[in-house]
Amino acid sequence: MQIFIDLVTNANLQAWVWGPLMGVLCGVLFAGITNPPTVNAPVTVIQTTRTYITNLTTKGGSSGSASGEGAGAVFFALAIGVMFLVWKYAIYVELVHYYLWMLLSTLLAFSMTTALVSLLKGQFTSNSWAVYIVAPITILAGCGGIIGLAKSSFDPELTQLASQRTFFDFYVHGLSAYGRSLMMSQVLGMVVTLLVMVFTGLALLHYLALMNQRSYGPLHRFWMFLTGATLFFSGKSWLFVLTCGLVLAYLLIDPRYIPVWMTQQ
């Protein structure tokens, strides 16, 4: 029993085996019991999107706006927040990278499995589906490279230094000007990478759901729900924004670019 518990709780197995395995199982489960598209189903991505939107009953809503006050207080709180985040990131950097990689491996495994099963079941009825499915998977793979770059460019001695000091002392006295720029850039780069991963996953999920909702079967309502829930992330513009986000994350994390530029300002 102890051996089983050790296997389940092992950090390396969670990141490299259990996370991807969960994604594969979910992909096989959801895409495997979905029937092929019907004879009269739309063929291309644009046709399918138009057909889906035509069948929707949309409801309008209103939203209010609020004006900001106390810019000085907000700036002060933001500065303290940045110092605190940099300090915490330096202490828990390994844990941050671990959870990001686990999330990424699960997303990739689920997406690639669902796409493969959908391909085998005849869901790829035009080349446009391949573009909208492969492009997000490529962006997710790029996020893996960004996480690897962040890990390799981080100095492990900073973790020990941060754990021995308060967040203010670490940021103000423990780091050089370049060190502060590097840490701020890497924290921001990790945030951007996380957002790119989440939004890319939602965009990819939208097209996988849009593809599979063309057929009637046990999961038709489920795919219809996912298509509607992720409709905001449809369109080529999202792929362009996510690609730009990936490039920005790279420039933030690579020590040769934005960290150097920030130090020189």
| Domain-located, residue 68 | no
In a domain, 92, yes or no: yes
Tell me, yes or no, whether 206 lies in a domain. Answer: yes
- Angle between helical axes of 177-212 and 236-253 (0-180°, round to 10): 160
Amino acid at site 216: Y
- Asked whether residue 134 is assigned to any structural domain, the reply reads yes
Q: What residues make up the domain containing 194? A: 23-30+74-264
**Contact indicator for 104, 143 with CB cutoff of 8 Å:** yes
Indicate the burial class of 84 (C-beta count within 10 angstroms; 0-12, 13-18, 19 or more): middle
Residue 59 CA to residue 67 CA, distance in Å, equals 27
In a domain, 139, yes or no: yes
Q: Are 182 and 254 in contact (CB under 8 A)?
A: no
Q: Quick check: is 143 in a domain?
A: yes
Q: What is the pLDDT of residue 123?
A: 78
The pTM score is 0.77
More confident: 216 or 100: 100
SS3 60: coil
Report which of residues 224 and 61 the model is more confident about: 224
| Residue type, position 140, single letter | L
Q: Into how many domains does the chain fold?
A: 1
Q: Is the pLDDT of residue 55 over 80?
A: no
Q: Distance between CA atoms of 2 and 94, rounded to whole angstroms?
A: 26
What's the pLDDT score for residue 230?
87
- Sequence-distant (6+) residues with CB within 8 A of 159 are 90, 91, 93, 94
Task: Give mean pLDDT, residues 192-211.
Answer: 89
Task: Name the residue with higher pLDDT: 210 or 41.
Answer: 210
pLDDT surpasses 70 at 58: no
In a domain, 214, yes or no: yes
Helix (H, G, I), strand (E, B) or coil at 129: helix
C-alpha 8/C-alpha 25 separation (Å) is 17
Closest by CA position to 110, among listed 143, 142, 133: 133
